[in-house]
Chains A and B, each alone.
Chain A
Amino acid sequence: MRNFTAIMAAGILLALAGCDSNPLYLRLSSDYFPVSPSGATWEYSMDGGGSKIVTVVDQTVVGERPCWRFQSGADYAYWINENGKLEKYEDHTVLFNGFQVPIYQGWVTMLQWPLADGMSRRDSVGAQAVSQGVTLSHTWVRSQTVTGPETSPDGQWGNCYRVHQEETVINWIQTAGFQPETTVTVRNIWLAPDVGMVAMESPDSVLTLVSFTGGEE
């Protein structure tokens, strides 16, 4: 009996030795992109000066679906975070003869939960519209790769996932004198548990979260 107990205890102790532990269950139970409640506010500093404030304004209905409205300056964005995925309302327009011609509006999945290192997804939209007798064609492709967990670039947030996005937009005004116009945007977004976006690097700017208020349920 004594031998058996000793060997079993030694076995368990040896089994525990050298095992790598990480907060996997913390990541699983965290919300990496909170879209509610109203009043939640993220304040970002921008490299080169200035700041950007993003606030959850209210709940509304867009595209026949209830969603949360985010405001940043004069711009609005609409988000849904339910059924295991994060969806964004995409509102795409093409500039033609001084007019912003609406060409695609709809909900597109941005991320699927839970996040994991190496996960990837690709979303695309192809649409056409006719304006002033001219056909405008629009192709939008977004490829994403998730890596992590890692610390945010400013070292303030742990257990972040980095979302690497490559967004390609091809707009073609199908009339004489116009060629397909291709724009490629690459950005990296760091998402922290129960906070959301804590940093974003894009060719235009680098945003770093300086304060976050969770709002009131």
Chain B
Amino acid sequence: MTRTMILAAVLATAAAAGAFEIEAGVAGLTPIGGWGENLSAGLAGELQFNWLVSRKFRAGAGVEGAVFGDANAGDASLSQFKPMGILSFYLRPHGASFNPGVVAAFGYCRTRLSSGGGVDPVSWDPFWRAGIRWNFSLGSPWRAGLGFDLESVVSQETSGDAFKLTFGVSRGLEI
């Protein structure tokens, strides 16, 4: 609840600041390393709120939910919830078909594992993500972006790394 209120405050502040964009995205996640040995590839949904700090820089906040299933037709599942701060830089922000960019995000990841009718203790761990984007116009004020991310949940004693293929649609707004 507290986290939700904090995120709402961040969004409200950004909204009061001027030009911004809201983005919704979906992604496919592939675990890297032994933590994903018994899990299938994951699916994620993300909502972002970015403030256009300058023509090329954006800063914002977002939340992502991801779910991994069982790799062996069992009933295990792992879910992640990630509130995060996001920074991005785009080279050609108004480019119609080619606007390359880089994105970095930092936040926290809530991980929940269930298997065989049991649930492990939930863990909250620091999380970061870095990636590249190819952004293009869908007709003003809509844009879309495709990209790759490498992300890591920095858990105790080991990390939960994943490769991510992402697609998002954004809409620019002026307040």
A→B interface (CB under 8 Å): 1, 3-5, 7-9, 11-12, 14-16, 19-30, 83-85, 112-121, 146, 149
Contact = CB atoms under 8 A, between A and B. Distances in A.
Contacts of A20: 121-124
Nearest to B159: A25
A121 B156 CA distance: 29
A29 B34 contact: yes
Contact of A29 (B35, B71, B106, B116): B35
A28 B35 contact: yes
Contact of B158 (A11, A19, A23): A23
B7 to A, nearest CB: 7
B44 interface: no
Given A11-B7, A25-B155, A114 B126 contact: no
Q: Which of A84, A115, A118, A149 has the most CB of B within 10 A?
A: A84
B113 A28 contact: yes
Interface stretch (B9-17, B92-100, B133-141, B164-172): B9-17
Interface string B35-63: 11111000000000001010000010100
Contacts of A149: 120-121
Given A85-B74, A112-B74, A117-B118, 8 more contacts: A8-B85, A16-B126, A24-B155, A26-B155, A29-B33, A116-B76, A118-B117, A146-B118
A135 B37 CA distance: 46
Contacts of A112: 74, 76, 115-116
B23 interface: no
B118 A19 contact: no
Contacts of B33: 29
Given A4-B59, A12-B106, A15-B83, A116 B120 contact: yes
B6 interface: yes
A16 B108 contact: yes
Contacts of A121: 116
A11 B115 contact: no
Interface of B: 2-3, 6-7, 9-10, 13-14, 17, 33-39, 51, 53, 59, 61, 70-72, 74, 76, 78, 83, 85, 106-108, 110-111, 113-126, 153, 155-160
Contacts of B113: 24, 28, 114, 116
Centre residue among A3, A15, A19, A25 by max chain B CB count within 10 A: A25
Nearest to A111: B116
Which of A7, A23, A116, A119 is most buried by chain B, counting CB atoms within 10 A of its CB?
A: A116
A156 B29 CA distance: 36
Nearest to B61: A8
B61 A117 contact: no
Contacts of B106: 12
Given A7-B9, A24-B113, A117-B118, A15 B108 contact: yes
A85 B74 CA distance: 9
Contacts of B71: 84
